[in-house]
Structure formats: structure tokens, C-alpha cells
Amino acid sequence: MVTTHNLGFPRIGRKRELKFALEKYWKKTISEKTLLEATASLRSQHWQDQMMLDWIPVGDFSLYDQVLDTSFMLGNIPVRVSELPGSELDHYFRVARGRAATDDSAGTSVSAGEMTKWFDTNYHYIVPEFDQHTRFSLHSDSLLQQINNAQEQAIQAKPVILGPVTYLWLGKCKDDSDKLDLLDDLISMYAQLFEALEKSGIKWVQIDEPVLVTELDEVWKHALRKTYYQLQATPIDLLLTTYFGQLQDNLQLACELPVSGLHVDAIMAKDEIAKIIDWLPNNKILSLGVINGRNIWKTDLTETLNWLEPIHANLQDRLWLAPSCSLLHVPVDLDSEQQLDLEIKSWMAFALQKLNEVAVLAKALNHGRNSVAEILQENRTAIESRSQSNRVHQAAVKQRVLEITPAMGSRQSPYPQRVIEQREKIQLPFFPTTTIGSFPQTKEIRQARMDLRTKKLSEKDYRLAMQKEIETCVREQETLGLDVLVHGEAERNDMVEYFGEQLAGFTFTQFGWVQSYGSRCVKPPIIFGDVSHTHAITTEWTVYAQSLTDRPMKGMLTGPVTMLNWSFVRDDQPRAETCLQLALAVRDEVTALEKAGIGIIQIDEAALREGLPLRKSQWNIYLDWAIRAFRIAANGVKNSTQIHTHMCYSEFNDIIEAIAQMDADVITIETSRSDMELLDAFDEFHYPNEIGPGVYDIHSPNIPSVDSIIHLMKKAAQRIPAQRLWVNPDCGLKTRNWDEVKPALQNMIAASKYLSSNL
């Protein structure tokens, strides 16, 4: 018999119940008790939702983040927090957010733990902190309590635990000690934990070691060996769990570690499964993650069964089935969607639907395909309809991609020639000032958008309202004295959704929320079909903005790579192919802007870095097609048209060559918090084009002083020739209010004036 299980369930809730409960608690409108009741009932609901499975994950739920939970379970709480008064929950939220719900504005707030991306997903975890004084102690009450609750509800609980090696690997040493020195202590905590779990009647534990899909040096491989050999005597069965990629040179190690079973992502590592079966000792179970936990598409069940049946014949009871990874990365329930086009909806599956797919596959293997004949037939119909639908497949779009020429990826002349023509056409002072695009999204702006959606405001009145916002924004920028203006992005809800809504090939959900961090969720657009540009999107707004001023107006677009990386994408063609389609669509918008008289166009690639593969050895494959896509999007313009790009992060060292290949005339980046040191990468590489290193952090309400900006720009000028420097904030200003924006920009402009007159 095949056994089914799940690696993790989305915890945010069908209607984001967790988010709303948390936010109420933080605002102190509900008590701790009410919060904990709400989360307990969400957990129960989610267990009931998974009853079609043999083993149900417990411990995957979290009030904020599962890595932070692990830190608390291991007693690894930063001293700056543990020495404060308050409850455990206060401590927890202080590490998560810098403050507890009980904290008053004065005194108790501390710096939150650092947050960073969970492998190659859009989920962010709180980085564990270590130093030479770190000692662990086991605090498993909360987990044991959850297990107890689950058992009371007749749930076959399989606790989900982050493995000790991945836990260390994810963390950061705050001093120069070596985090691997902590391994022995950590292993003994896990040994104690397993004993406690056994006493609670637990048989299987899922122990996540996703580091196994990354490039590991000998030291880390040794850490894995040491850990699992030492834990070998544990009385419970460990399911060593990997996901998000192939095992590659860790394959043999993963197969040999002395545990009871291995879970592999059979979507990403499908080609390795035969080898794994070959290597895996025959007392171990093999769990195959055959349902994609990273997308929202139905699985082709027949095809999967064709592949699985011989594997099942070989492994028999040793075969387990699951989604490829935790379902944290997909929305909860497709049935919540009331507005999706029915045909497109019939191709999709969210978490609940994916778990049903797991159950159907298991039933087909256990009792023959006939036992699920009807479901298989329905599935085949959906799969065929998607593969043939002319909503998905547009011959003209595919043809256009085929016809892309090398010339389309290049500007007419290299930068040294372009800059002459641009400086002739766009007269700018030294240290020109600009912003990254958005200005405050005020209550009025959001209300107008809402009223348009609910039809309280007509299309025409909405336009007028937005034009008024644009006018205000332009006037403010003129008064401030910025050199290159923007229209302010009032009409945009989100930098990807806004464009997706107007391009063919995208669709949107009502409740397709995915947790990004804590209570924050994103609702990624869905790219279901060939993408094309059917009408000009931004020209009307930009031209209107330009008509209000003599100063140059910068057009503002989102780049193809960012649109791709922030959407759910198709699984029926390579990402690179979808990206090229997006590139052509953006190119059409770029040329439309140029034709409408806009001489400066910014193409944001905020998420370029996020798409980097987990293994460095594969970076170049990604960068090659991603940079090519950007170039196709950007390079359909004349020499005199100035292309800007923007990236809001501060790590460029390892991708500087690719950044240079983008060949944007101007790149604006986030630098203020790194004291311009990241410009070293640009300096060493002799980055040839213009750079606008951000001079203040827009995430903070603090107003930067003139001196601080001058100081930063002088540092920048030590690395980049002054005539190639721009002055701008780190990122867009939409989350700030005007009272913060005005004085900040005033100081920025004063600094630029000082710099250019003291050159």
C-alpha cells in the first residue's frame, strides 16, 4: 500500500484569518487568549482539511515563522530580547518585529531579527542568531501541546521539524565564532526532542534538511553525517526531507544517512529518482513529491501514474506520496474563487486540490486506476483543454518570439556614443536628482481605486481623480526642484499586477494569497497563456504628466524578469520562454512611450536577483536568458532615449557582470544602508554607465540630513566618476507620507546642489 502525507499546509487561512487575528492582537484589539484560540481553531480546521491523507503534518503552523519557532524551541533567543520583561509571546514578536503588542512606544522596542528569503521562494524567515555564548535548551511544550491537540482530534500526526544542520546553515554568527561548533549541543537537543515525541506516541517525524539541494562543502556534508549517525539510536522513524531542487552531488549522502526514509522533490529532481531508487537501502521508504507545491496548476494524473506504476511495482509499501514541498507556497482553496474564468479555473489546483490529487494517485496505485476512473477522466479533459486552448496558445506571439533577432537585444550604439546624444538632448546639471517612481499612495488614492472597483466612481471620474493626483505630484516635484520628474504611480496598485491586468495572458484571483512573511501576504498574478501587449498602458498618464512641465518626465515600467519572478508562471513551457514573451510586451510599451515623446524610460527589475537558482553553478543559465529578456525589452529605442533601470537590493558583487550587460544608461540601486561600500563592486568592475546610488532609506520615516547625503555621495564619488553619478532615494516613496517625503527630498536636492557647485 502506498502511504500519503503532506509536508506542510498554508497557515494563513482561506480568508487570511491568521493575518487578521495577528494584526488585531498587535493593535491590542484582541487579547493573547483570543489570538491563541483563533490560531488553535485554524490549526484544527487545517487538520480536518487534510483528512484524506495517511499522515498529517503537525508543527508546520506558526504564528510568524517556522524558523523563528525552531529558535524558540531550542531556547536560542537573542539576549537583547530575553533580558526584557514580558511573556514568551512578547519575546517572540519582539524578535519577529522589533516590538511586542504589549510594548509602549517608549523603551521596550528592540531591533528585530534579520529577515531573509527562504531558499528560492518568496517566503522570508527570521535568521537565527548565534555567537560564542549560544547555548541551547529544549522548549518543546508548544509542539507537544499541538501534537496532543491533534491526537485528541484523531489526527495521525507527523511532526514537521527543521533539521539541525539546515537550522545552523540558515543562521548567522554575530561574532567570529564558528556556528558548526554548536552542532554537538544541537544534536543532543534533537535527541531529547525525539525522546519526548516518542513518549507522546509519535511514530514518524519529518525532518527537513533542504540544504541537501544546495552546494555543500565537505564541512557541511560531514555535519550531516555526524548528526544523523549520532541520532541513529532515536526511537522514532525519521523522514529526511529535501525539496526545491536536485540532490546532485549530495545524492549518495542523502541516500546513505541512517534514517528510516527520504523525501525527494520529484518535480525538480525527477531525473534523479531512478538513481535514488538504485542507491537507497531497501529498508528505507522513499517519499516522492509528485505534486508541484510551487505552482497553481493541476497535475497530469495519467502521465504521473504512467511514471509511478513501475516505481510502485518495485518499491511496494516503501513508496510514499506527497506534494513536492510544503504547500506554504500556494493559496489554500480554489473553491473560494468566484470570479475566475471557469475554463482557466478548471486547469488549476490550490493546496486542498493538490492534496486530493495526492490521494487520487495513491488510490489508483493501491486499488487500480478503475477505482478513480471518473476523476482521471475529468483530469484528462482539463489537461487536454489547457494544452489545446487558444486562450493559452497564440500563434502570433510564439512566432514573434521565434523572430527575435540579435539586433533587437542591442542599442544602436554603445554607451559612450549614446551619452553624448543624451546629454545634448536632455540638459541636466551634475549630480542630477530624481526619484524611483512612486510617491505617497495616500488614503484618497486608495479610496478612489476602491470606488472604481465597486463602481462608485465612473471610469471617467477615476481618470480625473488620478490626473489631479499626478498634477499635485508634478507640482510638488517642481517646487522641490528635482531634475528628472516622475508621474508618481498613483494609478498603480502594485508594480506587477498593474501591468499584468493590461497584458493578454494574465489572470488574477480573489483569495490567492501566499504568505511572504509574518502577517504579510502577496497575491501573485497568474500567467496562464502567451503574453502580449494589446494596447499602450502608460503613455496616456506619462504624456499627461509631461504636458504639465518643461522638465523631463521619466516613464515608469516594470521589467520582464520581475513580472515573471513575482507571478505564478506556466509549467507547460520554460520560464525563459515566458520571459521572452514578457520582454516583447514591455518592448512595445517602451517604444510606445518613446513615440509619444518621452525621452527617459525606467524599467524596474526589482526581482532580478530573486530568480537566481539555488546552485551557483546554474546562475549563468538564468542570468543569460534574464539579461537577454531585459535587453530585448529595453533596447528598441534611439540613442538619445535614456534607459534607466532600478533594483532594490544591495548585493551586486556576484552578479556585477550581468548587471553591466544589461547596459542601462542609468541604474539606480539601494545603497544607503551599506554606506556606499557596495559601490566597490561597480568600481572594481569598472562599471561603465551611470549610477544613482540611493542616498536614503525609504523604509524609515527618518529625514536624512543634508550632511549625511553629502557624506554618502562623496564616498560614491571616490568610486564612480562624479559625472556619472545621480542622486536619488533607495527606492519608491509610496509607503511614506508627504510630510516625510518633502523634507527628505529637499535635503537631497540641497546636497546635490552643494556637490555640483563644489565639484
- With binding defined as CB under 5 A, does residue 557 bind Zn ion? no
Site for ligand GLN in 643-662 (CB under 6 A): 646, 648
**Residue 613 DSSP one-character state:** -
From Zn ion, ligand GLN, none, interface partner of 438 (C-beta below 5 to 8 A by class) = ligand GLN
From ligand GLN, Zn ion, none, interface partner of 5 (C-beta below 5 to 8 A by class) = none
The interaxial angle of helices 141-152 and 66-73, nearest 10 deg, is: 110
Rounded to whole angstroms, the Cα distance separating 667 from 686 reads 14
From ligand GLN, Zn ion, none, interface partner of 495 (C-beta below 5 to 8 A by class) = ligand GLN
Among 267, 436, 627, 629, binds ligand GLN (CB under 6 A): 436
Among 438, 519, 538, 578, binds ligand GLN (CB under 6 A): 438
Which residue has its beta carbon closest to ligand GLN? 732
- Would the annotation count 646 as a binding residue? yes
Check: CB of residue 700 under 8 Å from CB of residue 725: no
- With binding defined as CB under 6 A, does residue 495 bind ligand GLN? yes
699 is catalytic: yes
Rounded to whole angstroms, the Cα distance separating 188 from 278 reads 32
Site for Zn ion in 581-620 (CB under 5 A): 606
* Ordered DSSP codes for 77-124: --HHHHTS-S-HHHHHHHHHHSS-TT--SSS---PPPPEEE-TTSS-E
Rounded to whole angstroms, the Cα distance separating 139 from 512 reads 34
- The minimum distance between CB 602 and ligand GLN, in angstroms, equals 7
Check: CB of residue 300 under 8 Å from CB of residue 254: no
- Would the annotation count 670 as a binding residue? yes
Beta bridge partners of 668: 646, 692
- With binding defined as CB under 6 A, does residue 470 bind ligand GLN? no
- The minimum distance between CB 484 and ligand GLN, in angstroms, equals 13
**Rg of the Cα trace of the chain?**
27
Ramachandran quadrant class, 154 (left: phi over 0; alpha: psi -120 to 50; beta: rest): left
Candidate ranges 233-241, 278-286, 430-438, 635-643; the one touching ligand GLN (CB under 6 A): 430-438
Among 669, 731, 748, 755, binds Zn ion (CB under 5 A): 731
Indicate the residue among 437 and 560 with the shorter CB distance to ligand GLN: 437
Among 734, 751, 752, 755, binds ligand GLN (CB under 6 A): 734
Candidate ranges 218-226, 395-403, 436-444, 565-573; the one touching ligand GLN (CB under 6 A): 436-444
Which residue has its beta carbon closest to Zn ion? 648
Candidate ranges 227-235, 402-410, 595-603, 730-738; the one touching Zn ion (CB under 5 A): 730-738
> What are residue 532's phi and psi, to 5 degrees?
-145, 160
Angstrom distances, CA of residue 63 to CA of 192, 519, 522, 718: 24, 9, 17, 46
- With binding defined as CB under 6 A, does residue 732 bind ligand GLN? yes
Q: What cell does 616 get?
A: 551557483
C-alpha 117, offset from chain centre: 7
- The minimum distance between CB 585 and ligand GLN, in angstroms, equals 18
Cα dihedral across residues 612, 616, 618, 621: positive or negative: positive
Helix, strand, coil percentages, rounded to 5, for the chain: 50, 15, 40
- Would the annotation count 518 as a binding residue? no
Angstrom distances, CA of residue 663 to CA of 119, 411, 479: 29, 9, 32
Q: What cell does 559 get?
A: 521589467
Candidate ranges 385-393, 494-502, 525-533, 727-735; the one touching Zn ion (CB under 5 A): 727-735
Indicate the residue among 570 and 609 with the shorter CB distance to Zn ion: 609
From ligand GLN, Zn ion, none, interface partner of 655 (C-beta below 5 to 8 A by class) = none
H or E element that contains 532: strand 526-533
Catalytic one among 222, 393, 699, 711?
Answer: 699
Taking the C-alpha atoms of 178, 183, 185 and 189 in order, what is their torsion angle to the nearest 10 degrees? 140
- Would the annotation count 566 as a binding residue? yes
Indicate the residue among 103 and 604 with the shorter CB distance to ligand GLN: 604
Binding residues for L-homocysteine, by number, are 436-438, 489, 604
Positions touching ligand GLN (CB under 6 A) are: 436-438, 489, 495, 556, 604, 606, 646, 648, 731-732, 734
Q: Known catalytic residues?
A: 699
Binding residues for L-methionine, by number, are 436-438, 489, 604
Binding residues for Zn(2+), by number, are 646, 648, 670, 731
